[in-house]
Amino acid sequence: MLTNIAPEVLSAFKGVWRIYLSGRCSQPACIDAILTRFTELRYAHVDNVSCAGQVCPPPQFMAQPAGLRLGASFRWDFNPHWRSLTVLALDAVHLGVLKHAGAFVQAVGPQLVTFSLECVWDSYAVGLWRQIGRINVRHMPKLENLHLRIPESAPYKHGWAYRVLGQHDDNVPMGPIPASLREITISLHLTNSRHLADVCRDWSGTHEYWSAPQITIKFIHVAGLPFDDAEQAIRASFGRLYFPRQLEVINPSP
């Protein structure tokens, strides 16, 4: 737990390009003091560090980060002015905060080159699925790499993933897929092969990605079923989505 940081300690941060903040802090001003010392910030994980359970970079935060990894407790109403940001990863975003998180992503989306998203199902947030339309690859014209991390494989819990790729938000055209997009990685925690039974129906609006020859699509089986069973289920389900090439399914721990 951070309680007090002496000036001489802060001065030692000069030249540091990565910081990870975790846990809770009884004096959020200490976090502000740390963040304001970064003038060449490249990557930061901001999560669960204030006594209120939410954290937001202070107004005087003058660093120009190239990449950020934000946790579920980030204060999503923060209006970023980071025109240098090209890499963004969002961890465990709950459905209940999609509206605010989506607005954040829209603000920085035009310059993103790499984007990673993990969304967590909230039983109390049923009906908020359309909010994911605010987070859409088609709003990221410079995007090259996309990583969708699906922590729960039940069909009604991974609907957010294909909406990120979808063509329409409330029947409003979203524009073409980014010409710069080269790779899509989908991480799955597959506990039941039947969870992929409706892939063709649910993911049908994403066929442009599957048929685009310049885009490589990879699957990572994180956990759940034995890898051979998961690989078979993934190939059988996603292989029918206008995909002209061999699916690549990766076992992270062979």
Is residue 61 scored above 90 in pLDDT? no
pLDDT digits (tens, 9 = 90+) for 142-172: 999 999 998 876 666 777 787 888 765 555 5
Question: Which region among 8-17, 68-77, 92-101, 230-239 has the lowest average model confidence (pLDDT)?
Answer: 8-17
Q: Which of 99-108, 169-178, 216-225 has the lowest mean pLDDT?
A: 169-178
123-139 pLDDT tens trace: 555 556 666 667 889 88
Average pLDDT score over the chain: 72
Hey, what are 224's tokens?
């759940």
Q: Is residue 171 classed exposed, middle or buried when 0-12, 13-18 and 19+ CB atoms within 10 A define those classes?
A: exposed
* Higher-pLDDT residue of 50, 103: 103
* pLDDT score, position 112: 93
Model pLDDT for residues 184-228, shown as the tens digit of each residue: 998 888 888 777 777 777 777 787 888 788 888 888 888 878 888
Instruction: Name the percent of the chain lying above pLDDT 90.
Output: 9
Per the CB < 8 A criterion, the answer to whether 217 and 184 are in contact is yes
Residues 6 or more apart whose CB falls under 8 angstroms from that of 234 comprise 188, 190, 196, 219, 221, 247, 249
- Domain locations in the chain as residue ranges: 1-85, 91-102+109-254
Which pLDDT band holds residue 43 (cuts at 50, 70, 90)?
Answer: very low
